[in-house]
Chain A
Amino acid sequence: MIDPVVWLILLPLAWATLAFVLGPGRGAWAALAGLLAQLGLAVTLAAKVGAGGTAVTHQVGGWGAPLGIDLAIDGLSAAMLLLTQIVALPLAVYAHAYFKRDDPARRYFWPIFGFLIAGLDALFVSADLFNLYVTLELVGLAAVALVAMGGAAQQIAAALRYLFATLVGSGAYLFGVALLYGATGTVSIATLTPLVTMDAPRLVWIAAGLMLVGLMVKTALFPFHFWLPPAHGGAPAPVSALLSALVVKASFYLILRLWLGPLQSLLPTFAWAMALLGAAAILWGSWQAIRAVRLKTLIAYSTVAQLGYLFLIFPLLSGGLALQTAVMQVFAHGLAKAGMFLAAGVLIHATGQDRVAGLAGAAGHLPVTLFAFGLSGMTLMGLPPSSGFLAKWLLIDAALAQDAYAIVAVVLAGGLLAAVYVFRVLRQAFLQAPKTAMLHRVPRSLEWTAFLLAAASVLLGLRGVELMQLVGAVT
């Protein structure tokens, strides 16, 4: 009897270990086979949750919370697991072709990648606050390692900056967990939820605030975003894609899980502050993206901006489709940003340089890649029929239902600003190449995986209903 939940965690741990034992640079095939199996498991799990209408639970060790650790999968978790495997598989194909045979960055890519995926899978299903801390650290350290893998001084510095930020974030989260355990005697989410009410002791309020701030640092919400542009902008393209699409979403998922679960009674106090920071993120991030000189820095700042949309949800959480809105935005941004970073990797590889201004002539030689970039941009701007449009529509709908006109204005402004920086890149790429330009050949698989992810982000808009049903399946 194969339990998909457990195998989604054990499988990547297994192939990561195998990849390490096989030796430096090896393990790609184990990874690809494992990810394929995991995709199947995630789909099975999503179908099970969607059809059954109840959350799937698994009591690790047979003990049951609060003594043991529980794994709980509702629509939100199933959707996040699905996104992780859907992005990871094309990304693995891309990485396999991207890293050349003797590239030092490749030596330990596969095992570290495997631990990262295992950590993400474990994070999305855990229902125990301390266990979530361990998974957060697994994901964070793996992400830092991937950023540092390039080996250049710039990347090591970016990795260190990221490491300090992520450690302060998880440190604050752990401190919050410590306070909660001291105040209530448990770290199990299910047990904690009925215990936390509006008149909880002051300690619980402080713990909530600490955990929120810690996770906001890890999600790079303005003003804690300082570590993201160097890290995502400086890493190799598949790593940037992985970080922007999945890793920052993990801490956001945790914020959602906490504020929908144990801490929901405390939400109203914090909600508008979070939305304000989200709005600032959109405006600041878009502005910096418009000004960016390097292509990957532009895309990294775009991530900072797009993450802001996620935080606009919080004042609207009492509305009907709020959770579906958040998940749709996560999916839209995850797929689109992954596709965009992979496309950027191809462009940088082909033109031999990484500045936006140097992209002239790329359109003629790399039509598939430019199309991929354009499709991703479409999702980020929120043009129909992409999933980005669907996400923004849902967000505006929810905001109008609660008369939050400020949020509507910010969403519309964000879309316009995104258009500015996306068209900046496209315009440059469609210019005539200068006579002296040399465009290198690029393996076909790189172009097509980027295109696959970007197209998925648009096509999701046409089939968004199923995703929303999955998320809403468990009340």
Chain B
Amino acid sequence: MKRLAVIAVAAAFVLVLGSAMLDLAPTAIDLRGPVMANLVQSGVEHPVTAVLLNYRGYDTLLEIAVLLLALLAILAVTDAARPVAARPAHPVIETLARLAVPLMILVAVYLLWAGAFRPGGAFQAGAVLAAAAVLLHLAGLLPGWRAPRPRLRLGLAAGFAVFLTVAAALLTQGALLQYPPEAAGGLILLIESGLTLSLALILAGLFLFLSRDEAAP
């Protein structure tokens, strides 16, 4: 009964919304103009990166906070004490990992640098690095992580801390996250580098902190 009601509502919703979408006038406001007009001052050449790290950089700051928070939540819920061992995997996977991971690191560095000119940037680079770490773990070359020790904690928090520090430092001479046009490119690269490291650790941690050797006695 409840099933039927929900499906009926969902279907009605799709029909009503679909028809409303089909006859829609063009929007009153077009943001592409201002985005491109201010692109030179923003410090990067790719409009999406400019929006992400400059025009709406505050969103990015909060989103990193969300990701770090999710990691903290996972650490809070997970048992810290269970031991984890690196289980050796099939030799094919191991060889693949050994071949692929150095290339993945190279690709990540490229993505970080390329973000200023084409699609790329800190998130993509961090994700590739995290994938490399997960691959190593699945191949048995990297043990799972227990409760993070001071060095790992510092690494996890470093990107966010750098972002916060730059934001606070910029407050002395303008609004929040207002980059002076000459230094914008350099500051964005600094923030993105810190973010890449931390994002890689956080995203890898989302997997590795949860990894438990279930088969161990």
Contacts and interface: CB of A to CB of B under 8 A. Distances in A.
Contact of A142 (B69, B77, B160): B69
B24 A24 contact: no
A231 B83 CA distance: 31
B179 to A, nearest CB: 8
Interface string B159-191: 011001001100100111111000000000000
A274 to B, nearest CB: 19
Given A61-B178, A107-B76, A108-B72, A131 B30 contact: no
A6 B171 contact: yes
Nearest to A110: B72
A183 B164 contact: no
A250 B27 CA distance: 30
A79 interface: no
B62 interface: yes
A290 to B, nearest CB: 27
Nearest to B147: A24
Given A23-B153, A131-B59, A203-B21, A145 B72 contact: yes
A206 B66 contact: no
A67 B27 contact: no
A69 to B, nearest CB: 5
Contact of B55 (A67, A138, A206): A67
A144 interface: yes
Contact of B73 (A119, A122, A145, A183): A145
Contacts of B28: 184-186, 195
B75 A108 contact: yes
Contact of A203 (B24, B38, B157, B177): B24
A21 B155 CA distance: 9
Interface in B1-33: 16-17, 20-21, 24-25, 27-31
A85 interface: no
A430 to B, nearest CB: 39
B17 A206 contact: yes
B58 interface: yes
Given A111-B72, A131-B62, A10 B164 contact: yes
A134 B59 contact: yes
B65 A66 contact: no
A201 B80 CA distance: 53
Given A23-B150, A202-B20, A60 B30 contact: no
Nearest to B62: A134
Given A62-B178, A183-B24, A138 B65 contact: yes
B100 interface: no
B150 A145 contact: no
B154 A21 contact: yes
Contact of B175 (A59, A134, A186, A202): A59
B175 A60 contact: yes
B164 A67 contact: no
A319 interface: no
Among A61, A144, A145, the one with the most B-chain Cβ atoms within 10 Å of its Cβ is: A61
Interface string B24-63: 1101111100110010000000000000001111110011
B20 A203 contact: yes
A89 to B, nearest CB: 21
A66 B29 contact: yes
Contacts of A59: 175
Given A3-B171, A10-B164, A61-B177, A115 B58 contact: no
A141 B70 contact: yes
Given A141-B66, A206-B17, A69 B72 contact: no
B55 A148 contact: no
A108 B70 CA distance: 12
A61 B55 contact: yes
A20 B66 contact: no
Contacts of A142: 69, 73
A182 B176 contact: no
A8 to B, nearest CB: 12
A128 to B, nearest CB: 8
A182 B174 CA distance: 32
A263 interface: no
B157 A20 contact: yes
A17 B31 contact: no
Contacts of B63: 134
B76 A17 contact: no
A206 B16 CA distance: 9
Contact of A185 (B20, B21, B30): B30
B86 to A, nearest CB: 24
A148 B62 contact: no
A151 interface: yes
Given A3-B171, A122-B62, A201 B69 contact: no
Contact of A58 (B17, B62, B175): B175
Given A107-B76, A108-B75, A112-B76, A66 B31 contact: yes
Interface in A319-369: none
A186 B31 contact: yes
Contacts of A115: 65, 68-69, 72
B62 A138 contact: yes
B112 to A, nearest CB: 22
B156 to A, nearest CB: 8
B21 A61 contact: no
Nearest to B35: A67
15 contacts: A3-B171, A58-B175, A63-B55, A66-B29, A67-B35, A67-B38, A107-B80, A112-B72, A118-B65, A130-B59, A134-B59, A145-B69, A184-B28, A184-B29, A202-B20
Interface of A: 3, 6, 10, 13-14, 17, 20-21, 23-24, 58-63, 66-69, 105, 107-109, 111-112, 115, 118-119, 122, 130-131, 134-135, 137-138, 141-142, 144-145, 148-149, 151, 156, 179, 182-186, 191, 195, 201-203, 206
8 A-B pairs closest in CB distance: A185-B27, A145-B73, A185-B29, A62-B178, A108-B76, A202-B20, A67-B34, A60-B58
Given A17-B161, A179-B17, A206-B17, 19 more contacts: A3-B171, A6-B171, A10-B167, A13-B65, A13-B160, A14-B164, A59-B175, A61-B57, A61-B175, A61-B177, A62-B178, A67-B31, A68-B56, A69-B58, A112-B69, A131-B59, A134-B62, A137-B66, A138-B62
